[in-house]
Structure 1
Amino acid sequence: MYESPHQFLPLQPAEHRLETYRERASIIVNRAAELGGQAHSVTREALRELLRSMNSYYSNRIEGQSTTPKNIDAALHQNFSTRPEIARLQRIAVAHIEAEKEVERQAMTVQPLDARFITLAHGALYSRLGPADRTTRDGLVVEPAMLRQMDVTVGRHNPPAWQSLPRFMDTFTEHYSRPRPADSQLIAIACAHHRMAWLHPFVDGNGRATRLQTHAAMWPITRGLWSVNRGLARGVEEYYGHLAAADAPRQGDLDGRGNLTQKGLIEWVDYFLRVCEDQVAYMSSMLALDSMKTKIKAAVQIEAAKGLLREEAVLPIYHVFAAGPASRGEFIQMTGLGERTGRSVLSAALKCGLVASETSRAPVRFAFPLDALPVLLPALYGIGE
């Protein structure tokens, strides 16, 4: 039984073992920063909203409780299924999206790697669900933000005795919440993700809450433009396998000086950084201006083949992606068509969802319609690409 904080050391591998990983982390941070210049700020905000839905899809998929992207989109428009189980999954998905927004706001006042933040994340999610939607298969109703008051077993792992959780969480905060350079911070986030999962502070909802905490901690690096969740969900067995491997006790004198395995924690950091590398590379390729122009053209051609849009829409749609919102007059002018025909093209582009506008007179901005995602962001919701 784990009862003393020294039993989950090391909280981070020894410094001399991290040189290679810091170099990789630095490259990830720099490449992530470059993403911010690949689209206009308004387009980036539209992408963030899309990725919140995607994060919900993937985090719930990891827990075996995901619904389809179309069902999530419908729920965001208050269109819930008449089938109770699908409607329940839709409510869970929407709750996750709103919880993600809340933890982003909370991170402005509470350091995300402060152990208190995990209770904020858990509460942000479960306080948005009614008792029926937060009842486990065993009939236990999960109370938002309430640390467990019972001992549990998770697979082969026995988390700390519930009475000792405050002591473990104080040690967690003392180590992980201190300021660090961005490359070292990324490694600390990776380690904190494992150690918080190891603590298993709640009766249920630990995985979702930990991923919400990680999302908030990663925000200064990702800016919401790419997601660790997507990478973790691409290989759930690998994710859980690396978590479990880092749970193991120290394997002899060459395996660090803590109670738990340093080798397993290093392998977890390596895995986490590989996920980050893959996701930054994916989104960099998706948002590259040349490739996006080609994809916008393909999306317009698909709508044109249905008789819904004209190919003259390609240039103004690409312009609002790269340069930001345009007035309706500017959009029509960029089509190169006459006023009446140009208005018809704008109306069709709005109807197809490739552009959006807040009102009938407001400027036109780029959008990511669900039906066009296989063209605009191929494999965004794919697992095996």
Structure 2
Amino acid sequence: MLAPLRERASAVVNDAAGLATQAHPATKLALRELLRSMNSYYSNRIEGQSTTPRNIQAALHQEFSDRPEIAQLQRIAVAHIEAEKVVSRQADSTSALSADFAKMAHGALYRHLAPADRMTSDGLVVEPSALREINVTVGRHNPPAWQSLPRFMDAFTQHYDRQRPADLQIIAIACAHHRLAWMHPFADGNGRAARLQTHAAMLPVTRGLWSVNRGFARGVQDYYGYLAAADAPRQGDLDGRGNLTERGLVQWVDYFLRVCEDQVSYMAQMLMLDSMKAKINAVVQIESAHGRLRPEAALPLYHLFAAGPVTRGEFIQMTGLGERTGRSLLAAALKSGLAASDSPRGPVRFAFPLDALPVLLPSLYGGVDDVG
């Protein structure tokens, strides 16, 4: 039963390693920053609390809606982005598959929220990293009694916090995601904490260039359905040896691997050099048709994507234009967001502006118009 899963997990590892070679490190860094916002969007969407990518971008610039309900969703989105930064840094120095890491992930999220934004629908203020001290029912699932949570969390660490080959580690990450959701250790925020932990644990494979969150959110009913199916009691003597169904857990792992396969394939297609060259040309043509960018911007922008940052003089030289016209074009490219720089005279690098995503990374946010 495990061999086919290991074979597929190994293929995911290999495909992901190939993906990591498809763009310059500076371009990959820009993509990782973009995917942090995407992860926030999708993880909160799974919880029915998402705002638009444009609202998230505004919130990152401290621009919040006048409507309290939208502003709250913006704050939650920013908190998720900041929490992902924390768990990603921590994953560099410690194992992500421990109960302490799950508690840290929960705390990283909720410490970025004021008490009013941590309040549940029944008036309970959720404390960062604190295990719940009430019994709960989640749909048809009754998680362990709160008094037993320390024992379950210790067992979680003992079982999952160990070294494994990369293929077995992906399977362990899938199982740990279910187990944490099954325990439901926090009063609220369990799904978000589990997805933050899973993101961190998957970083050695994803390198931050693709995300299971996007796959989970593109089929929320499947996500919750497979989790719930793995919650079922053991179905007879041939269904594993624990209290829960092994068959249901295998189905969940199969689903998790399908999500991984789909997301690696999606991003590999998006970052193919030939297709990206055509997409950059298309974006430049659209900008040119509106009088915002000259067609000569296409070549240097593609160079930034494929070969990395260049000096401003090199960018201007690649346009084939005169000094004055080339400087104007560079200024327009920076204004469009397709190029970025850390200082007024510093090198320029490729960027992924929100308005260009429907062309550069189609369906990253679902539908073409879903960035709004």
Any residues of structure 2 matched to 1:72-87 within 5 Å, and which?
A: 72-87=56-71
In structure 2, what residue type is equivalent to 1:172?
A: F
Match of 1:187 in 2: 171
Match of 1:326 in 2: 310
The runs of 4+ residues in structure 1 deviating greater than 2 Å are: none
Of all paired residues, the percent bearing the same amino acid is: 76
Q: Is 1:95–2:60 an aligned residue pair?
A: no
Could you tell me how far 1:108 is from its partner in structure 2?
A: 2.6
Which consecutive unaligned segments of at least 5 residues does structure 2 have?
none
Could you tell me how far 1:307 is from its partner in structure 2?
A: 0.7
1:37-88 per-position Cα deviation (integer Å, ceiling 9, x unaligned): 1111011000000000000000000000000000000000111111111110
In structure 1, what residue type is equivalent to 2:236?
A: G
Q: Is 1:137–2:144 an aligned residue pair?
A: no
In structure 2, what residue type is equivalent to 1:291?
A: S
Could you tell me how far 1:369 is from its partner in structure 2?
A: 0.2
Q: Is 1:297–2:281 an aligned residue pair?
A: yes
1:232-290 per-position Cα deviation (integer Å, ceiling 9, x unaligned): 00011110000000000011112111111000000000000000000000000000111
Match of 2:263 in 1: 279
Q: Secondary structure at the match of 1:204?
A: coil
Match of 1:31 in 2: 15
Could you tell me how far 1:130 is from its partner in structure 2?
A: 0.2
Any residues of structure 2 matched to 1:224-303 within 5 Å, and which?
A: 224-303=208-287
Which consecutive unaligned segments of at least 5 residues does structure 1 have?
1-16
8 A Cα contact 1:22 1:183, kept in partner: yes
TM-score for both structures, normalised by structure 2: 0.98
Q: Which moved more, 1:57-66 or 1:162-171?
A: 162-171
From 344, 350, 360, the equivalent of 1:366 is 350
Q: Secondary structure at the match of 1:292?
A: helix
* Aligned residues: CA RMSD: 1.1
Could you tell me how far 1:383 is from its partner in structure 2?
A: 6.4
From 65, 82, 97, the equivalent of 1:113 is 97
Q: Is 1:341–2:325 an aligned residue pair?
A: yes
Q: Is 1:376–2:360 an aligned residue pair?
A: yes
Q: Secondary structure at the match of 1:309?
A: coil
Distance in 1, Cα, partners of 2:211 & 2:96: 16
In structure 1, what residue type is equivalent to 2:106?
A: H
Distance in 1, Cα, partners of 2:92 & 2:360: 32
1:197-241 per-position Cα deviation (integer Å, ceiling 9, x unaligned): 000000100000000000010011101000000000001111000
1:97-134 per-position Cα deviation (integer Å, ceiling 9, x unaligned): 00000001122333110111111000000010001111
Distance in 1, Cα, partners of 2:100 & 2:340: 39
Q: Secondary structure at the match of 1:153?
A: coil
In structure 2, what residue type is equivalent to 1:333?
A: Q
Could you tell me how far 1:170 is from its partner in structure 2?
A: 1.2
From 351, 361, 381, the equivalent of 2:335 is 351
8 A Cα contact 1:233 1:383, kept in partner: no
Any residues of structure 2 matched to 1:160-199 within 5 Å, and which?
A: 160-199=144-183
Match of 2:28 in 1: 44
TM-score for both structures, normalised by structure 1: 0.95
In structure 2, what residue type is equivalent to 1:63?
A: E
